[in-house]
Structures are given as structure tokens and as C-alpha cells.
Structure 1
Amino acid sequence: MNFRSHTAPERVVFQIAPFVDILLFLLVFFILTWNFARNEAELDVKVPAAREGKENRRPVGEVILNVRRDGSIVMNRRSMTPAELQETLARIAQLYPDQAVVLRGDQNVDYKYVVDVLDICRAANIWNVAFATSKPD
């Protein structure tokens, strides 16, 4: 008597659909977190702390202007002269009249440089300007 049945062994099949789902999820996660962190930490600008500041939702396409300690202006990881900045902001204001601009001034920068950047924004017809601050320790 032969009690063994001759069944074909099951083939092991690689499930690709769950693998693709996980990879796409990780890809989207890393791209989104990289994109948000890129604008805030691109320079060693230490913004001043504010107790009464509140964290607003960041609008899509906002322009972040960094004013370094020495007064140099950086927009999108590119150093600009005041004339270049005004020309760029004027073009942006023509395309998007309500463009949001976040001004990140170093806590040790002279006030004169911050006022100069505000004057450039006003001359370029940018009125929606916010100041970036950090939470107090």
C-alpha cells in the first residue's frame, strides 16, 4: 500500500504588488519630508525666538528670503544682490499678485538689512510678508 500521494510541490511566487506599494509609499514620504526641510535648513540662519508666535499653514509656492548675519540675501539657495532680488520679486508679483514671502533674518543681523529687504519687497509690489521665528527654549 502506498499512502503517499504524488502531489506537485507548490511553486513559491514572489508577490510584487505589496512590494511596489511599500516602495511607492516610502518614496513619497522621503520626497515630501526632504522638500519641506530643504527650505528651512538650507542656511545656518538662526532666527530669533518669539513667545507669542503661532505656526500657520504654509501656503504652496511661498518664497523664503534668508538674510544672513553679514547682510547677504539668499533666495532658493542662491545669493542675490538687492537689484537681482527686486527684479525677481517683481516678476513673481506680476505672475502671482498675492505671493507670500517669508523673511528669515538671523537673530544677529543688523536691523538695517532687514528693513532693506522689506523695502525691496515693497518696491516689487510684494505685500504679503511674514517673519520667521523659532519657539523659545
Structure 2
Amino acid sequence: MNLNQHYEDAKLELQVAPLIDVVFLLLIYFMVTASLIKKEADIGFMLPANIAVEDMQEIPVEVLIEITADGSVQVEGMRFSYDDRTLDDLVMQVAGLKQIALAQSSPFFVNVLPHQDALHRRIIDVMDACAAAGVNSLTFSKSM
């Protein structure tokens, strides 16, 4: 019995239909997995916008001057004793803050907060110092 002769007579064929199915499944798999990766160009961001000068809000510069019961004056972390009647350093401090407000084109306010036991003379000294610094907007607040 010759086996080689039997194989030579049979025609070998390749099944194409299952190969096409496998190729389509691989194609679908790669298409689905490729869309899950986020590309760099898809990241959204906002650029800063140009704002017109008219749309900007003015933030006022406010100075709080506290007068304690013993007559000392406190402003922006500085303390002036009762013995300093002219308050020249206070005039320089307030005038400097007013110049900063003018440079920023912001409104400038001075708020005086006297203690209920403060002497009126000391309040007048603070008002004179504010007038010497050229303050136009001076208000008083009630102490708590």
C-alpha cells in the first residue's frame, strides 16, 4: 500500500471564511482599543482673555487708624505713642499710602477707629495729621 499516491491525488484547500472572520475581529479589537487613548490635542484649555480697562474693578485703598484708650495711635502695624503730638511719621505713612492709591487709580479712604475712652484731643491730632497728608475721605467708626 502506497500512502504517497493517496495524498498526491487529494487536493488541499485552505478555508478562507474563518480567516476573514478572524481578520475582522482583530480589526474591530484594534479600533476599539485605539480610541481609548486620549491624544494630546484633545486636552481643552482656556487662554487668558483681553480685558478692557473699563471692565476692571477698582479696589479702594483703605487705611484703618486706631486710637487706643491710652492715646497711642496704631496704623498698618506701626504704633505712635501719646507723647508724639505732631505725628510726623503718621503723616508720611498716610501720604505714602495715598500715593500708592493714586498710582493704581484707586479711591483712597481713611477710617479712624477711636476707643470710647480716647481723649478728643488725640482724635484732633490724628485728624490734623490726615489733613497734612492730604486726605479727602475721612470716616469714623464706632469701637467695639
Q: Distance in 1 between matches of 2:89 and 2:143?
A: 28
* Contact kept? 2:71, 2:119, Cα under 8 Å: yes
Amino acid at match of 1:129: L
Q: Which residue of 2 aligns with 1:94?
A: 99
Kindly, what percent of the aligned residue pairs are identical? 23
Q: CA RMSD in A?
A: 2.0
Amino acid at match of 2:91: Q
Moved over 3 A (4+): none
Matches within 5 A, 1:35-50: none
Q: Distance in 2 between matches of 1:74 and 1:134?
A: 14
Judged with a 3 Å threshold, the aligned counterparts in structure 2 of structure 1 residues 73 and 133 are, in CA distance, closer, same or farther, namely same
Q: Deviations over 1:13-46 (max 9, x none)?
A: xxxxxxxxxxxxxxxxxxxxxxxxxxxxxxxxxx
Q: Which residue of 1 aligns with 2:77?
A: 77
State the secondary structure of the residue aligned to 2:97.
helix
Q: Which has the higher contact order (CA 8 A, sep 6+)?
A: 1
Q: 1:122 aligns with which of 120, 125, 131?
A: 131
Q: Which residue of 2 aligns with 1:5?
A: none
Equivalent pairs, count: 77
User: Which deviates more, 104-113 or 71-80?
Assistant: 71-80
Amino acid at match of 2:97: I
Query: Where does structure 2 lack aligned partners over 5 or more consecutive residues?
Result: 1-58
**TM score, norm. by length of structure 1:** 0.50
Q: Give 1 or 2: higher helix fraction.
A: 2
State the secondary structure of the residue aligned to 1:96.
helix
